[in-house]
Structure 1
């Protein structure tokens, strides 16, 4: 059973202004599949006008076999699920069906055709509004994701600058540590030369100068050894000199 389209009140003799545009496909922009909303002007699919007054493309409509092979094809409408006859939308379709897609329906003074086109216009406008709301929501999500990415990028830039500063500080510390190690090694070498008397001899100079340098560069160990030998000899001499008790001065006292 065919579904009835909502009726609109039109004054007799009223006509809409003609659509003047440079695009020849502009009057047909409202023709679309009532199921998937694919437009007729895209020329990607075949469109059918069904007896239930719905328009469907060949991707959405289902063809049912007739009683005999010679019967006209029967289509299952994707909107109302009725099995109805249909006609392909093209220039070869009968004129009484082609009038449904007239570019100026108000000039025909046929209320049924005007109602059909207005219903398709409203359906197409609702689809555009839904897609527009979805696109607006997606744009908000994109803007939010963009702001989050910008904040993350700013944080990464700050961390990158801090990393560069830290790496530069690490290089400076390594240089300081290397210099400190060199200074410590120099001090150790000098201490070893002083302790063990390892000194480089001068390239030029008399023998007396060399002897003086050798006398001046006596290691503290040798000095310590000499001092210990002197103290030991003096203590041994003192020990040898003591042969009896030391007599103190006579101080009278009572026990």
Structure 2
């Protein structure tokens, strides 16, 4: 079966049996799909095997025997996109935090933009503390992304931690080949820094975001702050220059 589109939707998944079928079915209506099963212990692998049989050439899957979290899952999906010669990669969540029905917003974005960020404009069930964390992360990341010291607001990206994004082949190939430092949700910060440091033209589009607390905890928060600290130190001239 020939590819339906020039875009591969990459979805990292860990124990998502309750939502993965709905996410994949919704995504396949718009483009080809790759799900990286990150050592799930529930029925997620069985569900993915069903899709592989039903949609050969349009649905791809890879299983990790050990959990690598978001960085390993997305990076392996991007490597598959490279092998299959896709022009674009869209990353999204497996737990229905991202609505597959909004995929056309990314697919129809102008091709001049190498990075399209799904800004969480309409949010459902997000607690105040998460809003504050996202706001602070955006302030810190924008300053870190600006090469000069005196421009406090950087490029002005409003949502620096959203994982609903579209990457061009040039940018996702760089991310796929990078020795990543991030280990959890901080991947979205690292991928953003890689894209911006490689001069990607970007834009934000408003999406709907439904909050899920299943993967966010104090450890994840600390890792994100640690990665932001690394970027800040490098900007100030400490440590290496790796994005």
**Structure with higher strand content:** 2
Same fold (TM over 0.5): no
> Could you say which structure has the greater relative contact order, defined with CA pairs below 8 angstroms and 6 or more residues apart?
2
TM bracket (short chain): under 0.3
What's the TM-score, normalizing by structure 2? 0.21
